[in-house]
């Protein structure tokens, strides 16, 4: 089963849920898809054994064949090409590698080269098959690295995908194809506002989902009332606990020090399995 863990806003505790859930299960794979700021390995301390570059295709223009007609730049919705009287400028950071410029070129003047945009790393920690991606500094497109990570999904294992924050394209790419999505929120006005955005996205994608309320007790009950009114299951509440906060600040997953919570996460997983099968 593939479980993605997302949220409308950053800092709600997605990685806390992802790592503690992974450590509570057997035969599990954890993939940190927050490629701009991956932090799951702070808690897992997996020894990285493999690294693989992630590349994208970038157009190269044959200036001998090209007649500078401008059809490629007219087609490009991302403004990655600009045609001037005697040259074609390629803005590689804007290119989405769609191949459209090659299709519309009447002179067959478009070729391709590869540009490295990030890396995928693999390791093992406490029996967890772990992957994360790292987008190169200055790059603006996380999707290619996330796609490379999702190609590592092992369907013989229970897979946990730790999504980026927000509701933009990287989140949709991560969550797509999941059997279930856990939305992590907090009981604050900001938490509720961004939870509503995330709920709209996941409902549009027709993925079963439920909510975990982290740091329960810091705000009010509006998140719970919203979930009740929308018939969204509240899967778990994690209290605003000084003990958990101290463990987090040291990079220690709290299920390793508080074994009762490991049972709670195992029960959570069983509940999700039951809902998916139903």
pLDDT band at 174 (very low <50, low <70, confident <90, very high): very high
3 state SS of 224? helix
Q: How many residues are present in the chain?
A: 278
**Structural domains in the chain?**
2-54+118-277 (3.40.50.300), 63-108 (3.30.70.20)
* pTM (two decimals): 0.94
pLDDT tens figures, 85-133: 999 999 999 999 999 999 999 999 999 999 999 999 999 999 999 999 9
Per-residue model confidence as pLDDT tens digits over 10-38: 889 999 999 999 999 999 999 999 999 99
Indicate the average pLDDT of the chain: 96
pLDDT given at position 277: 86
Q: Give mean pLDDT, residues 124-148.
A: 96
| Residue 158 pLDDT greater than 90, yes or no | yes
Contact criterion met (CB below 8 Å) for 152 and 249 = no
Confidence of residue 230 (pLDDT cuts 50, 70, 90): very high
CA distances from 5 to 2, 31, 98, 173 (A): 10, 11, 29, 13
All residues at 6 or more sequence positions from 80 whose CB lies less than 8 Å from its CB, including other chains = 59, 90, 91, 92, 94, 95, 96
Q: What CA–CA distance (Å, rounded) separates 209 from 183?
A: 7
């Amino acid at each position: 089963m593939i479980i993605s863990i997302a949220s409308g806003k950053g800092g709600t505790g997605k990685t806390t849920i992802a790592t503690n859930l992974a450590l509570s299960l057997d035969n599990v794979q954890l993939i940190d898809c927050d490629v701009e700021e991956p932090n799951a390995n702070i808690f897992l301390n997996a020894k990285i054994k493999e690294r693989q570059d992630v590349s994208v295709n970038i157009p190269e223009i044959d200036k001998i064949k090209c007649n500078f007609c401008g059809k490629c730049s007219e087609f490009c919705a991302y403004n990655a090409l600009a045609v001037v009287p005697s040259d074609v400028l390629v803005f590689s950071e804007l290119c989405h590698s769609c191949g459209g410029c090659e299709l519309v070129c009447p002179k067959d003047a478009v070729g391709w080269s590869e540009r490295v945009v990030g890396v995928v790393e693999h390791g093992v920690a406490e029996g967890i098959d772990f992957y994360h991606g790292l987008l190169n500094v200055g790059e603006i497109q996380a999707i290619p690295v996330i796609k490379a990570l999702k190609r590592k999904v092992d369907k013989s294992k229970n897979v946990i995908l730790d999504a980026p924050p927000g509701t933009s394209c990287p989140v949709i790419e991560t969550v797509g194809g999941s059997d279930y999505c856990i939305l992590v929120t907090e009981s604050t006005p900001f938490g509720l506002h961004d939870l509503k955005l995330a709920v709209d996205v996941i409902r549009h994608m027709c993925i079963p989902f439920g909510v975990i309320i982290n740091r329960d007790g810091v705000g009010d009950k509006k998140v719970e009332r919203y979930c009740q009114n929308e018939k969204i299951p509240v899967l778990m509440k994690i209290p605003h606990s000084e003990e958990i906060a101290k463990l987090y600040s040291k990079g220690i997953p709290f299920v390793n020090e508080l074994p009762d919570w490991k049972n709670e996460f195992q029960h959570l997983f069983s509940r999700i399995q039951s809902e998916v099968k139903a």
